[in-house]
Every structure is written in C-alpha cells, then in structure tokens.
Structure 1
C-alpha cells in the first residue's frame, strides 16, 4: 500500500476497514493483567470520544491538551481530537504545575485529558479551573468525567473526517533546555511525510512489535512509534512502570527498540554489574562461547528479538555504541528535532560510522553554513512557533532551511557528524572556544559515570562535573573503593587530554554528590542536561576547585 500521500487519519480508517480484528495495542493494567485493543476496538472508542468532543460545540480547531504517560488511551485520544476537527497539545507527564499552567494558557486549551501520572497532585494546581478535564481508566483518583463512561454513552462519530494536509495537527512544546518551552506547530502533512519516510527507510511492516515507553509528548516517540505503527500496522505494547520494565519488555519481545543515550548507558551498566567488562570481553573472544554469551546478555535485557535498535535525542558515546555492536546489536543513531518532527538523519544498517548520526533521510536537504551550523530543509519542517512570528522567522534561512543550532560536518558518504551546539560553545580566559559535547562523550566511556557536564567559561582550562551511576554511589563511601575510582579518573583525564587540543585539556573532574533529575530541573523531560541550571548550581564553588590544583575533587 502506498502510504506516501495518506494523512494520519486516512491511515486510521485504512486499518479500521482492512484489519478490524488484528491486534494493535496491548495495555498492562496491573497485577500482570493486560487489556488488548484490536484496530476495530481502538478506532471505535476514538470515534465515540470524537462524538463527545463534537457535542461540546468548541470553536473550530480548538486546542485540546493531553497529559499522560504512554498508554493505549493516549493514542486513541490523539485520533479522537483530530476526528473532532481539533488540534492536540501533548504535555510531558513530568512537568511542574508552573509549566503545565504556562502551556495550557499559551495554547488556550479548553479541554485536558488527564491520564496515567505519577505525580498528579504536584501538577494539578497548574490546571486553570475553566479547563474541562477527562480521566482515563489508569488515571490517579479524581472526580472528572471518565473515558469509559463517555464511550459507553456516545455513539461512534460516523463517516471519514478529512483534514487539510496543511492544517495544524498538533502543537509540540519543546522540552526547553533554556527558558520557556516554545510551541512547535506541525501540520498533518509534516507528520505524514516524516512517518511515511521513516517507515520506508527502515523497511518495517505489520509483523513488527514495539514497546512504547519514551514520552509520546516527544517527537522521537511520536514519529517512530505512534505514527510508525499507524503507517506500517505493527503492534504496540506499553510499559506498566519502571519496576515492571523488564517484564514489560519480555511480554513485548520487541523487534524494533528505541531508547535514549542515558538509558542505553544504564542498561550497559546493569550488565557490567553482573558480568565485569574484562570478563565479558574475554568470554566473547572464545569462539565456542561467543554466540551463547551474546544471546544470553541480549535475552537478559529483553532485546534478543530486536532487528533494529535506535538511539536519539542526544549523542551516544562511541564506546557505548561499539559495546552494543560487539554484542550483535547494531545500534543506529538518528538525529532530528521537534521542529522537523524528528525527521532529518539516520544511520542505515551496514552504512554506519561510529560518531556519525547518519545520512539525510529521503526528501531532506542538508548543508553546512559558513558558521558551521547544520541547516536542513524538508516537507517535515514545522509551520512555525505558535504565537511567535519573530522566532518563527529567525528559525529559517531566507531560502527556507531550518537552523538546527547544531554544529556539524558531512563526510564523503553524506553522513553527518555533530560537533557541538552553537550556543553551548564557551570561551576560556585564553580566548579559545570549546565545544563541550565531544569531550563529554569521551568521559561517558567510563563505566562509573552516568552523567557529565563539561564547563569552564572564562577559566584557563575546562573542567568536568560528573554524577556517578546509581549502583556506584553507595560504594563510593568506602575509602578503598573511592581511592581506586579516583585513580581510574586520573587515568581517564590523561587519556582524554592526549586526544584533544591543548586548550581543550581538562584541568580536573569534580564528582558531585547531588542527583541531577527531571524533578529538580537539572534535566529536561527527555533526560537532556539543562546546562545553564547545572552550571548555575555550582558557580560559587568553581574558583575554589581551580585553586586546589587537584585532578579529582569530591564534592
């Protein structure tokens, strides 16, 4: 079937008519139980919810909010909003009340779907009283109208609703590593182009299985999981919670698996806790054991059936990439932004190059500006920022290329390498410019390090702030272990300093005892570092650290 010219709702109707009895979504509901949704059931419930939304007589193209962790109802809500002629506004399920309030007011949401959430009490004060709320079966306790009551009461909206390809489908609020989130306006055509292109490039079909657990409010998951399943017909499974993640993975036995760098590192650390790196490498060198060990490790992670594994949202260190590839899992890095619905570059099987995010996807033009900035252009590029004409104009060049804010270079095969963020580059007191990302990637090769931030504006040399892995932190209280760790960090600094230019050499590593999390605003909802927040938190101590002239400092 040619999906290239079909819009998301047309794909919904296609599966409803061609495969109504095929299993589409498997939703855990606790105690090991699941609810299964065929295409027919899912579309029927979406049609009923759309009928209810129509009955509210909202102004045409009203913005409707959606705040929930990933679940089957998230997907059905998106469809229902589109069927009713409105615009979906997803909110991250980890936002604080202030940001919830800002987005709902900025988008002028009349209705909010409140779903599966861990901390609704923290968010609730941010919801204006004028907003009508609807609750999912897995929602925290509340007195809102419920999904089940509504779909029982309203007959399905009949016929096929057609939306204009160039009409706004959704507003995606960026996770905001600096300042207030911006509302990225995406049309049905933007979404269709990205989804169809991604599916075509990966060559996936209805027999695939995926576990959906990265936030659907983020374009990475929305493009390749929600829209990916819509354009290829594959099965979706959802995760119940962090505690049940391994069981959820083993239930899904995914053939496609996407994750973000921080989680790939966490999975690796989990394996290395049970099987130290040297021992694993030794076992993999024994021909008789090689395949058995690889299979055992991947099975333990729940990834033994994976044909295609992807990483996105931030760069992954070369060491981690090589480690997975050595296990037989070809981890493909991709690159994209909210502003182009995550559709820009992707590594292709057999054409990967470590440290590169891959080639331009079909229909994407890429060039590097005189300043070294990566510029991209495709039908997936956003309509602009909601209610911000000035920022919308600034986001594009005069000839229509999207300014990514990333520095990069392209090799002879057209593969893109990102060399840092234009705005993250800082200047030392010697007047030399430093891009922190490549140095951070080198530091992340150390098995004990979970997060890192390289800084040093207006200092003689850069330094690194590191957070130890969760399982390493308690051990660091032991003096002998700490001494051993300190020696390995000294060696790490020496090794890195041999590979970088003199002005980029690290003066020291500071091991911080604080936790960097979404809750304390050190990380965005997609687990990216908020560099300005991290730097501000330690600014007052930086001069005293330089004065110590020690390679490793414990804070």
Structure 2
C-alpha cells in the first residue's frame, strides 16, 4: 500500500502548511477558524487527557454530537491516543445508544451539540466517562476547556495499515445495529483514490452538515478533506443552514435525496414550475435566472454535486440539470466505507449509480445481488462472526441490493433482495422502481410500496410540506393523474390499487425512519396494517384522517 494512513496524512498538512485554515466553525453567527497547527495542538491535548483518564490503546471511545470542528478534532485525538472511535447518530434513540455503548464496551463518550439532549440521557450508563465539547450538551464529568490544559501528546500513536480505526454501527432497518469494523487502510484507500479520481485538491471547499457518524459523510467530507487538504466549514444550526451555505459556497457538496427535494420545493414555492419552465426557455434570461437560483442556494461554485444514501428520482436529477446543476449519484455501504460506484462529473448517466471506483470489483450474483470486492471492505462485524461470514462470503461483500450493469459498466439498483414481496395472487413485486416513479410527483415527500398478501400493491405516501398547504382537490387531481399514467405502464400484477396519503410525517423519533433517513418498511407495514385492511375498493386515493 502506498497511501499515507490518516494520521500520517494529517501530520503532512501540519508540517507543510501549519498556519493555513482547515476548519471553519460558526458560533452565534460568528465564524471561528482553526488552522492545521491549532487542530493539531487541541487534538494532542485531548489525546493526553484521554490517556490520563485511563483510556488504553484499543479502548473504544464514542462520539455523540452534531457536526462541528471539535468532532474532527476529537476523532484525531482518539487516533493519536491509539483508541478506536465509535460514532453515534445525533438522532439515535436512548435505547439504541445504550445498546451500542454496551456492545462496544465504550470506555468514554465525547458529547457535543444535540437538538434534544434530554431524550438521550438515559442511554448513557454510569460506567462511561463523559467529556463535553464546548457547547451546551448533556451532563459531563469533564469539560473541553479544562482538558485542553493538558500537555500536548509528544509521541502520537503510529498507525498500522490493518489496525481497527473505527466501529461504525449501521442504523439497521430491522433488528439491532451491527458494528462495522473499518481499518486505517480501508479509510486511506477510499479517500486517496477518490481525491485522485475526482481531482479534489487544496483549493476545494467542503460544507459538512450530514451526520459525520454516517460512513458517507465521514468518507466524503472528513477523509477526503484530510487527503486533499481542502477546507471544511460546518453549519451552525438548522435555522442558519441556508445562510451558512450561501456564505461558504462550497465546491464539493454532498446531500441526500430528501434534502435535494426540499431545495427544489423551496425554489418552486417562490417560482412555480410553469413560470420557471417558461423563463428558462428564454435565451439569455434563462441563463441569468439559473445563475440567480444557484447563487441563492449557495451552489454557484459547486463543481461536484453528490447524492447518496438512498435512491433519487431521475426526474429530480433532470430538474437540477436544467439549472446547470448536474448531480452525481453514487452508491456504497457502511461495510465498504461508502466507496462503491459513482457517476463521475462529465460521465453521468441518470437512473444509474455510476461505475465502480478505482480498485473496486463489482459482480452481479446469480440471484441478481450486487457484490463488491476491494481494499475498502470492512474487517467484519464487531462480535458477530456468523454475520461476518454471511456478509463476506468468498471474499465478496454481499450488499443485499439487487442490480443490473449495462454494457458501459454503469450499475442500476433495482431493489432489495429481501424487499421483494408476493401478492395474494402469488406474483412477485419489486417495490424500488415503482417507488421511484411515484416520487417523480413533486407533491410526494416519501413513498413506501407494500402488498405482501394483498390482491394488488398499494403506496403509502407522505406529502411534502408544500403539498400540505395546497387545497386537497388540487393534490388529489395531480396524484390521480400520476397513478393513472403509472398503472398504464405497469404489468397487471404490479398495478396499484390505492394511494394512501398518511397524516403523520415519518421521522426517526416515531420509529418510521432510521437515523440515516432510510424508511423502516416493516414498521410501516405493521403501523398501517389495520388501515390497509379497511380501504374501500372503488376509491383509489385515500386520505388518512
């Protein structure tokens, strides 16, 4: 292996450009800058503090915080002390936090910005040392500023390629989360290869707002900035998100489909689609309008736009393309550190998740399952040897997703191996492609197809905030038109009997979504089973009242 390991890469920048700003953190509206040297000093002091508190090499330290400069500083400190980081999702339930802390036997937890900290208090047992970042957070045994009084660690831990660097717990759409063990080499290879492939360099600018506890943000932002030398700016809060983004104007921007939809809805609330279409067709004026919209979003400098974590509608991708914003959809898993397939800029094929990244092998199994093999694969699931054997059979990562590869090597995800259900007529239905078609309707926030043991499938729909403000008659007419068109294109056994418009939003708090914003299909099936059993046969659109 020729790549520098993460700590080596960090030391490289500290030596090469100690006074250059790496991290930018807004606090109460004021931006605070951290140079490479300042980050190094704070990380070394925290590393000494962790050792003085009894953390020995190999011990696990949890991180529970929204994104901030101190998250990255803490991660580096954990590496310098030879410890293993265990990131937790800020939206995780107290029960799930308790499970992870116990399962990973975490010695300490570093706490930071959280939206509703009181809800999480019960998840942290008395056996875990609590350290607080310099923000209002949960009760802690030690405060950031007092630990910064320690002497900087003189001889940081020397990383080895195959050492366990981090345990990332998957959010789990069913059952308990699994601890994905990732090595220093896996993270190094993913970041070094992607920076070279996408030509990400010191002049680039990242904007970090999706949870750093998620493999995709950890890889695409933290590690890619570490290997490229590019600056990272953070968002202060949900309320300041738009202004923070406009202020930073990143060159590399990663978001998820739900947020790309929200951005679109924000534009359409000010400029209805019909008027937007008309203006975009006018020479010169259309270009000026597109530039104004991009500047308003804070994306006028963005040269790499990424969508991942869930499928995005080709219709939404096309909508952004007309504004001059070409979104590159990618696909990966926690188990391969989100390093999978990607639509490179200038080589984008809508409807696909791109071609394999360098050093990654892709194969489609006989049952249609997508398999990966390469240097970024996990070491296994922590304390789960049987599950590890299943997931890494024959040295290939079994993703659980079904896919197809075209003649040019572009992968298209067609569904989940286990999500395919059988109707009462004995016919199998793959929900993902149909859900993608329904999601093209801009009134739809989220959709979940179900039909196990039903005569025909049906779709549960969560309406967008914009749709909820519209007259019901308008929404009903638009959705019924979409349903008629869709059913005309589907095979007889796939045609939808109903669109069910649910009352309550699907969230992490009510258990309908994972912390990584994936729908828990089994929860929705159970939650709406009684309602589905009472749907009138002759009414294709039903509002849950």
Tell me the TM-score normalised to structure 1 length: 0.96
Q: Deviation string for 1:188-210 (max 9, x for gaps)?
A: 01111111111112111011111
The alignment status of 1:505 with 2:495, answered yes or no, reads yes
The alignment status of 1:554 with 2:527, answered yes or no, reads no
* Deviation (angstroms), 1:406: 0.4
Q: Is the 8 A contact 1:4 1:196 kept in 2?
A: no
1:90 maps to: 87
Secondary structure of the residue aligned to 1:453 is: strand
Structure 1 residues 82, 143: CA separation in 2 closer, same or farther (over 3 Å shift)? closer
1:25 maps to: 23
Which of 446, 459, 482 is equivalent to 1:464? 459
Secondary structure of the residue aligned to 1:287 is: coil
Q: How does 1:438-449 map to 2 (within 5 A)?
A: 438-449=433-444
Which of 121, 124, 127 is equivalent to 2:124? 127
Structure 1 residues 462, 62: CA separation in 2 closer, same or farther (over 3 Å shift)? same
The alignment status of 1:164 with 2:160, answered yes or no, reads yes
Secondary structure of the residue aligned to 2:284 is: helix
Which of 482, 488, 492 is equivalent to 2:478? 488
The alignment status of 1:14 with 2:3, answered yes or no, reads no
Q: Is the 8 A contact 2:216 2:337 kept in 1?
A: yes
2:275 maps to: 279
Structure 1 residue runs of 5 or longer lacking an equivalent are 476-480
Q: Which deviates the most, 182-191 or 140-149? A: 140-149
The alignment status of 1:56 with 2:50, answered yes or no, reads no
Q: Is the 8 A contact 1:376 1:401 kept in 2?
A: yes
Return the alpha-carbon distance in structure 2 between the equivalents of residues 552 and 53 of structure 1: 58
Return the alpha-carbon distance in structure 2 between the equivalents of residues 297 and 465 of structure 1: 32
Q: Is the 8 A contact 2:400 2:417 kept in 1?
A: yes
2:529 maps to: 539
* Deviation (angstroms), 1:143: 4.6
Secondary structure of the residue aligned to 1:105 is: helix
The alignment status of 1:208 with 2:197, answered yes or no, reads no
Return the alpha-carbon distance in structure 1 between the equivalents of residues 539 and 340 of structure 2: 43
Q: Is the 8 A contact 2:5 2:161 kept in 1?
A: yes
1:316 maps to: 312
The alignment status of 1:426 with 2:421, answered yes or no, reads yes
* Deviation (angstroms), 1:51: 1.0
* Deviation (angstroms), 1:444: 0.8
Q: Is the 8 A contact 2:84 2:167 kept in 1?
A: yes
Q: Deviation string for 1:144-192 (max 9, x for gaps)?
A: 31111111x2111113531111010000000111111000000001111
Return the alpha-carbon distance in structure 2 between the equivalents of residues 516 and 496 of structure 1: 24
Return the alpha-carbon distance in structure 1 between the equivalents of residues 240 and 405 of structure 2: 41
* Deviation (angstroms), 1:91: 0.3
Return the alpha-carbon distance in structure 2 between the equivalents of residues 529 and 355 of structure 1: 20
Return the alpha-carbon distance in structure 2 between the equivalents of residues 386 and 104 of structure 1: 13
Return the alpha-carbon distance in structure 2 between the equivalents of residues 499 and 61 of structure 1: 56
1:106 maps to: 103
Secondary structure of the residue aligned to 1:489 is: helix
1:228 maps to: 224
1:292 maps to: 288
Return the alpha-carbon distance in structure 2 between the equivalents of residues 160 and 522 of structure 1: 43
Which of 414, 427, 447 is equivalent to 1:452? 447
Secondary structure of the residue aligned to 2:533 is: helix
* Deviation (angstroms), 1:306: 0.7
Structure 1 residues 110, 348: CA separation in 2 closer, same or farther (over 3 Å shift)? same
Return the alpha-carbon distance in structure 2 between the equivalents of residues 466 and 69 of structure 1: 29
Return the alpha-carbon distance in structure 2 between the equivalents of residues 524 and 542 of structure 1: 23
Structure 2 residue runs of 5 or longer lacking an equivalent are none
